[in-house]
Structure 1
Amino acid sequence: MRWRILALLFLARVGAGFQFQTMGSVGTELSGAFGLDNAEIGLMIGLFMAPGLLLALPAGFSGRFVSDRMLVGLGLAALALGGAISALATAPVGIGAGRVLSGAGFVIAGLYFTKMVADWFEGREIATAMSVLVMSWPFGIAMGQVGHTWLTEIHGWRAPFAVASVWCALAALAVFTLYRPPNGLPSGAGTWIKGLLPHEWGLVVCAGTAWGVFNAGYVVYLSFGPSMLEAQGMGTLAAASVISVGSWLMILSGAVCGQIADRFGRRETILAICTAAAVLSLLLLKMPGTGLAASLLFGLVGMAPAGVIMALAGQAVAPERRAFGMGVFFTTYYAIMTASPPIAGWLFDQNGVPDSAILFGAAIFALVLPVAIIFRMLKTGAAAEPLKETA
């Protein structure tokens, strides 16, 4: 049953990545239509993440009073409505408003997607399950990198927003009608939230930081990798296709990496190898003729530990406090994700070439491992504390 639930959540969450990628795929057309510079395009990309700064904690509280299924359904509906508003917009402010509404939906749906999988897979194949779940995001993005570019060339920049909205609306209906919670799940519905334990705060902030910088590096790769290849003489659709190779490959490599982590452990070794590969991939993009090799390395190794990192969120907080803990986790994540694209876009504008934006992405990728090590140290210290008390 839990694998069928995971398949449902995977397909539904694909819509979030598909909707997110709309802005990255139509940025050039919007620059021509409305005169937006790279920093403003980066801001539009970041607006999708901005609502998380305000809504992640309230969304975590809401789980005490509203079912996970209802909250995910509402979040996906907001993703659909926000995309429709952007598709109908006649000025940048309208597109931005749609992005904010879509982002608000993603905050709510994304938090409870993660909680649902943690509830179903706690203590068994958690890294594998989280790997499968988080791969839905790059799957949707990879669809958008090619599909949105194709739709834009044929039907204009409004079409990608509209098509992504249809997917999200259908996903909302599917989750609302088909999802069921696991039996015997601890519930705190209707009770007052006492908050996290002291060590849980440190763990969940570390987990959110690791997830934030990992995804921020990925977004820089997605948003400015095609520009790097275009600056080397590659066509727009060809550049998008090459960069999308990394997203397609990480769908497979992420699941394999999760299996390896569940069977053999050695999570920090895995993170060291994979983040080094991600940094190297971004550096390779700067060298003419190495775009495909960089994308292959990025997808096969660099982005493989996504589920290993996301699994930290499920390990940080006890089940009865998990909804609120996810709120803290995603608040940290969204703070990093909101700031990163505008910074990368500003660096691009300052130099007129994407090199500095790509270097920024490499730098934030490099932060994943030290943050994960701090998480492990805090976790070890928390486990040792009860032993000291009983000694």
Structure 2
Amino acid sequence: MSGSRYRWVILILSYLCMLGLAFSIQSLPPILTLIIKDLDLTHAKAGLLVSLFALPTIFLAVLFGSFSDRWGSFKMGVISLILIIVGALIFALSHSFLYAGLGRVITGIGATAVFIVSAQIVSQWFRGREIGTAMGIFNTVMPVGAIVCFTTFGRLAESLGWRVPIFITMIIGAAGLTSFVILYKPVSKRPQGIASEKERQPGLFSSLLKVGTLMWSVGFCWMFFSASLVSFITFAPDFFISKGYTIGFAGFLTSLLSWGPLGLSPLIGRLMDKVGNNEVFIAVGGIIMAMAFYSIARGGNFLLPMVVMGLGVALVPAPVFSLLPKISRPENLGLSFGILSMFASMGMLFGPYVTGLLKDRTGSYEVSFIFLSIFALLLTLTALVLRSKRRGD
């Protein structure tokens, strides 16, 4: 198969690998109420279980990104998918917060590298050719994972126990590992200036100095987006259950915010190829998300705000991911996605924990969700600063 066609196989492969990450993140919120009861957790500890998933990324993402540039995507991909499987197994067999937390940390280590490798190989194969479209499709993986998890895992856990959805997550990870071993190929024809995976790469600190301020600004955008979205997804089912909804319908309501990204991300990615203006899309997405968070915190009708939030969420990932190849050196793509992953995990680390802590302290989710709306507005502000910097360069 020619390289121009095989890049679509690579996109499908990266999608399958990312499903393991998506299910690892999204499998907990629909069953979190059951886990809280079974393991006798506070809401702060429950939020910490989600946050622990992100803890390794803060310290390892940049290093893993550099390793992926230096050692090659194949080794990193295989090791990372194995770690996702092992971490899910430990979590599924846990009977205490300690072992559950250990499983989440191990899964988080694997997920860090899976994200970097998957995004890196898509960027390499599509660089200069429909990168926005490819990233738009690539970014539907999280909505797909959310929709499947939130519409099925709650009911499944009620019937068979909360551990069964975690075992399903293991199976998804194993399918990704098998596919990666069989289908992965390095990009065979590189544009001038892109180093082979086996060629000697500069040191980590030398590479970090060459990244530039634009990359760090994109990282802050992704941090505020991740902090607000992951925190909301973590506690939304429990919030809806507290309002009198069943666990199944609470999962359905939460899944509504994923339909917008699923349907619109490829279209938005295509627009990135045609018109650019990535920062404008990101800024508008932040405003819409902030309005939706506030409406849910203060209102009693949740259907419309959830749909609106889905539209806001759809406006952010594809513009962020398609922006990275435009502002990064070709030989530093792995490092750039490592930086992005590090910032995302910083948001995931403190966001859910603080959100759960505010719930424990105040007894309601109103303050927690207003707190998330502030993060969404910070996303908008950072995107506008990024636009100003790019226009000034």
User: Could you tell me the TM-score, scaled by structure 2's length?
Assistant: 0.91
Q: Does 1:344 find its partner at 2:355?
A: yes
Q: How does 1:65-80 map to 2 (within 5 A)?
A: 65-80=70-85
Q: Contact 2:218–2:320 at 8 Å: present in 1 too? A: yes
Q: Pick from 22, 27, 48: which aligns with 1:17?
A: 22
**Paired residue for 1:40?**
45
1:240 match: 251
State the alpha-carbon separation in 2 of the partners of residues 68 and 276 from structure 1: 36
Q: Give the direction of change, closer, same or farther, for the CA distance of 1:321–1:182 in structure 2 (3 Å limit).
A: same
1:222-254 Cα shifts (integer Å, max 9, x gaps): 122223323332222111111101113311112
The partner residue of 1:191 within 192, 200, 204 is: 200
The 5 A counterparts of 1:155-234 are 155-185=160-190, 186-187=194-195, 189-194=198-203, 195-196=206-207, 198=209, 200-234=211-245
| Runs (5+) with no aligned partner, structure 2 | none
For 1:354 and 1:200, locate their aligned partners in 2 and report how far apart those are by CA, in whole Å: 39
Matches within 5 A, 1:134-149: 134-149=139-154
| Shift, 1:51, TM fit | 0.5
2:386 aligned to 365, 375, 379, which one? 375
> Is the CA contact (8 Å cut-off) linking 2:62 and 2:335 kept in structure 1?
yes
Alpha-carbon RMSD: 1.9
Determine if the alignment matches structure 1 residue 126 to structure 2 residue 131.
yes
Q: How far off its partner does 1:64 sit? A: 4.0
Question: 2:324, 2:345 → 1: CA distance?
Answer: 14
Please name the residue that 2:265 is paired with. Answer: 254
Deviations 1:291-349 (A, max 9, x none): 11112112234433311022233223201122223333322222222111101111111
The DSSP-based 3-state class of the residue aligned with 2:31 is: helix
Equivalent residue number for residue 84 of structure 1: 89
Distance 1:351 1:324, change over 3 A: same
Cα deviation for residue 198 of structure 1 reads 4.8
Cα distance, 1:60 vs structure 2:
1.7
> Counterparts in 2 of 1:291-310, with a 5 A limit?
291-310=302-321
How many residue pairs align between the two structures? 382
The one-letter code matched in structure 2 to 1:191 is: R
Q: TM-score, length-normalised on structure 1?
A: 0.92
> Which contiguous aligned blocks of 4+ residues in structure 1 show a shift greater than 4 angstroms?
none
Question: What per-residue deviation string (whole Å, max 9, x for no partner) do you get for residues 131-189 of structure 1?
Answer: 22122122112211122212211111111111101110110110121022222232253
Change (3 A) 1:138 1:380: same
Sort the Cα spacing of 1:143 and 1:312 in 2 relative to 1 into closer, same or farther, 3 A.
same
Secondary structure, counterpart of 1:193 in structure 2: coil
Report if the CA contact (8 A) 1:313-1:329 is conserved: no
Letter in 2 for 1:59: F
The residue identity in structure 1 corresponding to 2:54 is M
AA matched with 1:187: A
Q: CA deviation at 1:106?
A: 0.5
Q: Kindly indicate whether the alpha-carbon contact (under 8 Å) linking 1:224 and 1:357 is maintained by their aligned counterparts in 2.
A: no
Identity, % of aligned pairs?
A: 24
Tell me if structure 2 keeps the 8 A contact 1:68–1:112: yes
Change (3 A) 1:182 1:197: same
Q: Which residue of 1 aligns with 2:339?
A: 328
**Aligned 8 A contact 2:91 2:104 in 1:** yes
- Deviations, residues 18-52 of structure 1 (Å, cap 9, x unaligned): 11122222221122122211110000001111110
Q: Is the 8 A contact 1:115 1:322 kept in 2?
A: yes
Q: Distance in 1 between matches of 2:232 and 2:219?
A: 20
SS at match of 1:196: helix
Shift of 1:380: 4.0
Q: Deviations over 1:178-221 (max 9, x none)?
A: 02222223225352414237563312211111112112211122
Do the aligned partners of residues 287 and 236 (structure 1) sit closer, same or farther apart at CA in structure 2, a change above 3 Å counting?
Answer: farther
- Report deviation, 1:104: 0.3
Indicate if the aligned counterparts of 1:207 and 1:310 stay in contact, CA closer than 8 A: no
Given the superposition, is the C-alpha separation of residues 331 and 284 from structure 1 closer, same or farther in structure 2, using an over 3 Å criterion?
A: same
Conserved? CA contact 1:213–1:337, under 8 Å: no
Q: Which runs of 5+ in 1 are unaligned?
A: 383-391
Q: Tell me if structure 2 keeps the 8 A contact 1:225–1:358.
A: no
Change (3 A) 1:200 1:373: farther
| Residue 29 of structure 1 pairs with residue 34 of structure 2 | yes
Aligned residue identity for 2:305: A
Q: Tell me if the contact between 1:224 and 1:358 (Cα under 8 Å) persists in the aligned partners.
A: no
Aligned match of 1:3:
8
Within a 5 Å distance, the mapping from 1:376-391 to structure 2 comes to: 376-382=387-393
